[in-house]
């Protein structure tokens, strides 16, 4: 099902089947070019498929924006070990809800993408690691997988090609950390979900010590379109270094929140005003978290920006997972920072010292601060503690907690100062509905 | 050897083998990089982030404990950025730490304390409420205080990787993450206490030691464990003439960090209230305390009298007394009393092994070999139960060098979990099963065979013949039970063999009676039992025999005695002992118990009383005599004196020993028993695990 009206500005590639009757079924899929890319790929050499992937300039949609073709290219195809394709469906970044729609409305697109990845790296098995909270999606996926097996799109000798591919779903148990690829693999193997020492990277030593392609659901879901229509056609939809479209999840103080598929490089202000119907109640825009809660916040005046990996990186933020969180003038930025830190303190896996202790400490300071017990020395302390975590934790979760915190303190210092001297939160009343 | 890698650390050029971690390369250059979670030999963690360093051309600080060196690498360990990072890590660590150093057992030898002192800021900016968890008791010997824990996971790793037990894990996450035991609220494990020693802070503490004293108030004596034959070094912490703890935190000795429950905790027999502290003499049919002079003169008088009339005197020696005592005892018996009826409780057929090897002393494995050799065959032995250090060595070998292990045992053993082949056969059929492994074993480059006490006499000869026929270098370990079982045999506490396994016939003597024959001799006139308890399960036939016993406790045998001398335990005397692999190590006296005397001193006093000239009876003098007189014992003195171990190489003569299966009887001890001695260890009796159960991950 769909949760928002589509926008006329959308460029529907990955979401093209959204809204079709029974869009998750194999019949609907087949009736709309489904598995055409797989048929085509079965007739191509692995390097030819990889070449199309390169031309697509598809960059990882999980958040890091690493070129997908390059990641696939790291897998030692000739290794005697089995290889695996793993879809990261542990969509947990606050503000992000796109993978869920892709799996709910078009599971076969993901399955097809995984199989094509399998052809490239000579993998014959794949796992969809899905967050436990998405329980209802497991049924949809399992049904799609069963259908694909029944009709010969999965299993032995797929479409008479001699290619075998098996696919399994595996649920997480409610840990944000398991969205980090190496922690995901630990969890997939039945162990405690803590990240691994890298290198070696999963491409070489991944699931069950074997070479593994690990991509976000959206990344893998883009593969069929790339192979079907060609890498160049996909790339042309976006900007030169950021190929294709992207599912942006716009939430917060907008009139029409929702998931919209837009070309890479789409202007953020236009996105808020024209796609999402503008800031609600005619209020003024205060800030935007452009790519999920781990990204440094942008002030309103920074929001005239192209939404692609490089532009946001230049603005010292990140495109991240595409979770655009819009905050209007009534938002308390101290409370927003606290809400984010509460999440990271809750989700820190506890493996390394700076993340485990740093997030808890920051959460405690921010809680006290927001309650009016702040001291002037807390303001620099919050920034310093976050900086002490930044780049020093075992995995990126610590950075994810530190980066937004640093940006909140730097960009909204006046709001922190307004909370001092036992004053009540100036936004308390206006702020009940968001980030609560 | 591959070419060395050259790199620069703090301006110093360092050359190390490829694959070396930067933290170790720095150590080699004399540069300390602090770390909590890094522990040599265990899996890498990179969790504590203390070892972050600056590396040229790398954008961020990087953990030196997981970074292998590369050619031309430039590392800086003391830049402002690194110093700042360490400070912040310690600040983070101490936020939820209780800072209760003044009452913490670890205070004074705590790595966190040392690091905070050396690298910390000295004050904290943390003003929030600390996260607190109540202290937990996991077993009689293991306590856990979660707030002190820094989550370095050393305990988890030593338990799973080192011991193969996996009794510890991590529960919860984030700041609530904590170490947890395997059985909900308690531990079921080997109770080895490795987790306690390896803990860099005071989170895991010892039930025996906690809140008793401070590390700097004790003197620390490195000696050898009094229990099994593995000969682990244990460092006894002594305060006010009481042993407070045993550990091996300095990782010295053959056992490195290893100690089992016995070496770490089972020293408590020393201060057991039933320790004998005065000689006893049977007066009016009842054992009564008498002065030493009275007891000594009574024994000297009776022994002299029996000797004069040609009466039979049997001597039963100990598997726990020192080499010096054993040597002196057999000399006393043979020269002083003129009897060859001398024996002890034999728990492994070393004599037959040495004979079968026909003088090839290089075919005896050392404890080092267990860590270094490439393949192992374990026959009829449960190492984890009876030889925990040997089990640890082979397991470490497998973890670090991928050694290949074959087991042929009557029941499941812990080694099965990593063995390349595990065969279970009924007792007595092991050698047929070994024969069936011939092709696999012959394909190994080398082999160490460890065999238990049920492999004896012909079976030993057959096993050695099998080994010889493989065409590869083979070494052997004949497993024996107690701390100086091996030394008892080496020192000639045998009716047919002199020290160094020389047949008594060489000296023109007739072999004497064996232990069962002594006890069964109807005309036995005297029986002298030193540190042994043969009457637990056997009868002394001769009612008229005059029985003298030297022991720590009033055992079944001592109760039958006419005179009992209170003996000092291994922790109360000096001397040497020989472990299962034939390695000699030195005992150092840690405490003394009022009234008790070392057996050697008792022998000396008796000899003096009997006006026998048996030589000086100080441990050093006797050891000198042993080095000269006993084949294989001419070990380098500096090694022994400085607390090292040196393997002896006794050569069995082709004439050989009497090979009688009934003379070899294992005590079948478990991890939690240690013959009669364990009855007097409160700790060994307090653990609730099922004796003999196999705890493994």
Structure tokens at A296: 């440094």
- With a CB cutoff of 8 Å and minimum separation 6, the contacts of A185 are A86, A196, A202, A206, A207, A212, A214
Q: CA nearest B130 in A: which residue?
A: A361
Query: Strands (DSSP E) along A84-222, which ranges?
Result: 84-89, 125-130, 166-171, 212-216
Chain A residue numbers touching B157 (CB-CB < 8 A)? none
How far apart CA A312 and CA A306 sit, in angstroms, is: 7
Q: What is the mean pLDDT of each run of 10 residues along chain B (697 residues)?
A: 88 96 97 96 96 96 97 97 96 95 96 96 91 94 97 97 96 95 94 96 96 96 96 96 94 94 96 97 97 98 97 97 98 96 94 88 93 98 96 98 97 96 96 97 98 94 97 97 95 94 89 96 97 94 96 97 98 97 96 96 98 95 95 91 86 64 88 93 92 77
Whether the ω angle into residue A363 lies within 30 degrees of 0, i.e. cis, is no
- Residue B437, classified by CB atoms within 10 Å of its CB into exposed (0-12), middle (13-18) or buried (19+), is middle
Q: Count Cβ atoms below 10 Å from residue B141 Cβ, excluding itself.
A: 23
pLDDT of B122: 83
pLDDT of A433: 45
* Interface contact B49-A353, CB threshold 8 A: yes
Chain B residue numbers touching A391 (CB-CB < 8 A)? 59-61
Residue B115 contacts A where some CB pair is shorter than 8 Å: no
CA distance readout (Å), B388 to A53, A255, B43, B190, B416: 57, 70, 21, 10, 15
pLDDT of A424: 76
The ipTM of this complex is: 0.93
B-interface mutation test, from A344, A356, A391, most B Cβ less than 10 A away: A356
Of A360, A368, A394, the CB nearest to B174: A360
Between chain A and chain B, how many beta carbons pairs sit less than 8 Å apart?
Answer: 95
Q: CA nearest A386 in B: which residue?
A: B88
Chain A: closest CA distance from residue B62 (Å): 8
How far apart CA B418 and CA B398 sit, in angstroms, is: 8
Interface residues of A toward B, Cβ cutoff 8 Å, are 175, 177, 192, 197, 345-354, 356-361, 364-365, 368, 377, 381, 385, 388, 391-394
Q: Which neighbouring-strand residues pair with A285?
A: A328
Q: CA nearest A385 in B: which residue?
A: B88
Q: Is A214 helix (H, G, I), strand (E, B) or coil?
A: strand
- With a CB cutoff of 8 Å and minimum separation 6, the contacts of B566 are B275, B276, B277, B278, B279, B551, B552, B595, B596, B597
Helical pair A396-411 and A378-389, crossing angle rounded to 10 deg: 150
Structure tokens at B475: 């070494």
Half-sphere exposure of B363 (CA within 13 A, CB side): 21
- Size (chain A), residues: 436
* Interface contact A345-B175, CB threshold 8 A: yes
Task: Characterize the bridge pairing of strands B233-239 and A258-263.
Answer: unpaired
How far apart CA A423 and CA A342 sit, in angstroms, is: 22
Q: What is the mean pLDDT of each run of 10 residues along chain A (436 residues)?
A: 90 96 96 97 97 97 94 96 98 96 98 98 98 94 98 96 97 95 97 94 97 98 98 96 96 97 97 96 96 97 97 96 96 95 97 96 95 93 97 96 97 94 74 46
Q: Which neighbouring-strand residues pair with A249?
A: A259, A323
Residue pair A360/B131 in contact (Cβ under 8 Å)? The answer is: yes
Torsion over CA of B470, B473, B479 and B480, rounded to 10 degrees? 130
* Interface contact B151-A353, CB threshold 8 A: yes
pLDDT of B361: 78
Residue B61 contacts A where some CB pair is shorter than 8 Å: yes
Structure tokens at A401: 């907690």
- Residue B334, classified by CB atoms within 10 Å of its CB into exposed (0-12), middle (13-18) or buried (19+), is buried
Closest CA to B191 of B148, B144, B159: B159
Residue pair A368/A334 in contact (Cβ under 8 Å)? The answer is: no
Closest CA to B27 of B87, B75, B61: B75
Chain B residue numbers touching A353 (CB-CB < 8 A)? 47-50, 89, 92-93, 150-151
Residue B79 contacts A where some CB pair is shorter than 8 Å: no
Looking at residue B676, the DSSP 8-state letter turns out to be: B
Chain A: closest CA distance from residue B118 (Å): 18
How far apart CA A143 and CA A148 sit, in angstroms, is: 9
The pLDDT tens digits for A176-227 are 999 999 999 999 999 999 999 999 999 999 999 999 999 999 999 999 999 9
* Interface contact A388-B66, CB threshold 8 A: no
What are the backbone dihedrals phi and psi of residue B323, each rounded to the nearest 5 degrees, phi first?
A: -60, -40
Which helix (DSSP H) or strand (DSSP E) does residue B570 occupy? none
Structure tokens at A126: 């794949």
> Interior CA angle at B365 toward B363 and B371, to 5°?
140
Structure-token match 């050898």, residue found: B224
* Interface contact B46-A394, CB threshold 8 A: yes
pLDDT of B655: 52
What are the backbone dihedrals phi and psi of residue B250, each rounded to the nearest 5 degrees, phi first?
A: -85, 5
* Interface contact A392-B126, CB threshold 8 A: no
Structure tokens at B334: 């043979």
Task: Characterize the bridge pairing of strands B421-424 and B404-409.
Answer: parallel
* Interface contact B173-A175, CB threshold 8 A: yes
DSSP symbols for A359-406 = HHHHHHHHHHIIIII--TTHHHHHHHHHHHHTTTSSSHHHHHHHHHHH
């Amino acid at each position: 099902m769909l949760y928002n009206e589509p926008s006329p500005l959308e460029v529907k590639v990955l979401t093209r089947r959204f809204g079709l009757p029974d869009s998750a079924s194999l019949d609907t899929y087949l009736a709309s070019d489904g598995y055409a890319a797989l048929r085509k790929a079965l007739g191509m050499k692995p390097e030819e498929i990889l070449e199309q992937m390169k031309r697509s300039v598809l960059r990882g949609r999980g958040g890091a924006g690493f070129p997908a073709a390059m990641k696939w290219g790291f897998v030692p195809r000739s290794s005697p070990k089995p290889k695996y394709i793993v879809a990261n469906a542990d969509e947990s970044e606050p503000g992000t809800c796109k993978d869920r729609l892709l799996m709910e409305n078009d599971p076969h697109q993901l399955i097809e993408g995984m199989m094509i990845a399998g052809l490239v790296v000579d993998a014959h098995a794949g796992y969809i690691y899905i967050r436990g909270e998405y329980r209802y999606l497991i049924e949809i996926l399992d049904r799609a997988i069963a259908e694909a097996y029944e009709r010969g799109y999965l299993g032995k000798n797929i479409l008479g090609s001699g290619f075998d591919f098996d696919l399994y779903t595996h649920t997480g148990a409610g840990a944000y950390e398991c969205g980090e690829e190496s922690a995901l693999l630990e969890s997939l193997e039945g162990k405690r979900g803590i990240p691994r020492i890298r290198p070696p990277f999963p491409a070489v030593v991944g699931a069950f010590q074997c070479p593994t392609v690990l991509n976000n659901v959206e990344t893998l879901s883009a593969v069929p379109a790339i192979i079907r229509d060609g890498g160049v056609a996909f790339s042309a939809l976006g900007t030169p270094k950021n190929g294709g479209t992207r599912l942006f999840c716009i939430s917060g103080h907008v009139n029409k929140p929702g998931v919209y598929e837009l070309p890479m490089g789409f202007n953020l202000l236009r996105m808020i005003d024209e796609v999402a119907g503008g800031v609600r109640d005619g209020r003024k825009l205060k800030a935007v978290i452009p790519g999920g809660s781990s990204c440094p916040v942008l002030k309103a005046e920074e929001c005239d920006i192209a939404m692609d990996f490089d532009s946001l990186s230049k603005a010292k933020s990140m495109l991240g997972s595409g979770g655009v969180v819009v905050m209007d003038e009534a938002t308390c930025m101290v409370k927003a920072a606290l809400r984010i830190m509460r999440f990271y303190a809750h989700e820190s896996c506890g493996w390394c010292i700076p993340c485990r202790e740093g997030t808890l400490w920051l959460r405690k300071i921010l809680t006290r601060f927001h309650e009016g017990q702040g001291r002037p020395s807390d303001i620099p302390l919050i920034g310093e503690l976050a900086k002490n975590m930044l780049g020093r934790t075992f995995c990126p979760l610590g950075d994810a907690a530190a980066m937004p915190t640093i940006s909140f303190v730097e960009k909204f210092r006046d709001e922190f100062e307004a909370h001092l001297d036992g004053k009540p939160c100036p936004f308390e009343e206006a702020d009940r509905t968001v980030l609560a | 050897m591959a070419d060395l890698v050259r790199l620069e650390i703090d301006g110093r050029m360092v050359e190390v083998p490829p694959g070396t971690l930067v933290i170790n390369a720095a150590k080699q250059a004399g540069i300390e990089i602090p770390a909590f979670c890094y522990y040599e030999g265990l899996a890498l963690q990179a969790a504590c982030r203390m070892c972050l360093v600056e590396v040229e051309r790398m954008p961020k600080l990087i953990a030196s404990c997981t970074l292998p060196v590369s050619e031309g690498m430039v590392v800086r360990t003391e830049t402002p950025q690194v110093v700042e990072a360490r400070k912040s890590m310690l600040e983070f660590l101490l936020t939820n730490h209780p800072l209760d150093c003044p009452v913490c057992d670890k205070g004074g030898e705590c790595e966190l304390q040392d690091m905070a002192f050396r690298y910390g800021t000295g004050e904290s900016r943390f003003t929030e409420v600390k996260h607190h968890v109540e202290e937990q008791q996991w077993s009689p010997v293991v306590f856990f205080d979660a707030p002190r824990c820094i989550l370095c996971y050393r305990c988890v790793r030593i338990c799973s990787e080192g011991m193969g037990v996996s009794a510890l894990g991590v529960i919860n996450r984030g700041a609530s993450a904590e170490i947890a035991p395997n059985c909900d609220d308690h531990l079921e494990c080997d109770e080895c206490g490795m987790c306690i020693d390896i803990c860099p802070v005071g989170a895991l503490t010892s039930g025996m030691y906690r809140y008793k004293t401070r590390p700097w108030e004790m003197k620390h004596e490195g000696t050898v464990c009094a229990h099994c034959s593995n000969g682990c070094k244990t460092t006894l912490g002594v305060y006010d003439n009481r042993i407070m703890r045993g550990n091996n935190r300095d990782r010295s000795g053959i056992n490195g960090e290893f100690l089992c429950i016995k070496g770490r905790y089972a020293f408590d027999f020393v201060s057991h209230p039933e320790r004998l502290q005065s000689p006893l003499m049977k007066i009016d049919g009842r054992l009564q305390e008498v002065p030493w002079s009275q007891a000594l003169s009574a024994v000297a008088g009776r022994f002299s009298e029996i000797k004069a009339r040609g009466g039979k005197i049997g001597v039963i020696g100990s598997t726990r007394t020192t080499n010096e005592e054993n040597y002196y005892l057999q000399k006393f018996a043979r020269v002083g009393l003129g009897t060859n009826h001398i024996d002890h409780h034999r728990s492994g057929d070393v004599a037959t092994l040495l004979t079968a090897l026909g003088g090839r002393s290089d075919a005896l494995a050392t404890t080092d070999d267990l860590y270094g050799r490439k393949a192992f065959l374990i026959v009829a032995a449960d190492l984890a139960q009876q030889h925990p250090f040997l089990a640890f060595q082979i397991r470490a070998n497998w973890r670090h060098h991928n050694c290949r292990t074959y087991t042929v045992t009557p029941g499941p053993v812990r080694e099965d979990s990593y063995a390349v082949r595990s065969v279970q056969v009924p007792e007595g059929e092991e050698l047929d099963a070994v024969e069936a492994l011939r092709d696999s074993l012959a394909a190994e480059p080398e082999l160490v065979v460890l065999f238990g006490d049920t492999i004896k006499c012909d079976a030993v000869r057959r096993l050695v013949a099998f080994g010889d026929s493989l065409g590869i270098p083979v070494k052997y370990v004949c497993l024996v039970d107690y701390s100086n079982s091996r030394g008892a045999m080496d020192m000639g506490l045998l009716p047919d063999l002199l020290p160094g396994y020389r047949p008594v016939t060489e000296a023109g003597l007739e072999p004497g009676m064996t232990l069962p024959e002594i006890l069964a001799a109807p005309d036995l006139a005297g029986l002298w039992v030193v540190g042994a308890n043969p009457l637990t399960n056997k009868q002394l036939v001769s009612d008229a025999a005059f029985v003298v016993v030297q022991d720590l406790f009033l055992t079944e045998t001592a109760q039958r005695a006419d005179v009992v001398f209170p003996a000092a335990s291994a922790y109360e005397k000096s001397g040497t002992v020989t472990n299962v692999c034939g390695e000699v190590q030195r005992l150092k006296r840690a405490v003394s118990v009022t009234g008790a005397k070392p057996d050697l001193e008792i022998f000396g006093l008796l000899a003096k009383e009997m006006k026998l000239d048996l030589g000086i009876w100080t441990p050093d003098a006797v050891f000198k005599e042993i080095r000269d007189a006993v084949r294989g014992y001419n070990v380098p003195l500096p090694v022994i004196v400085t607390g090292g171990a040196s393997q002896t190489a006794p050569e069995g003569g082709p004439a050989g020993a009497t090979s009688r299966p009934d003379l070899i009887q294992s005590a079948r001890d478990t991890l939690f028993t240690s013959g009669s001695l364990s009855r007097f260890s409160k700790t060994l009796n307090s653990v609730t695990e099922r004796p003999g159960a196999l705890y493994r991950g």
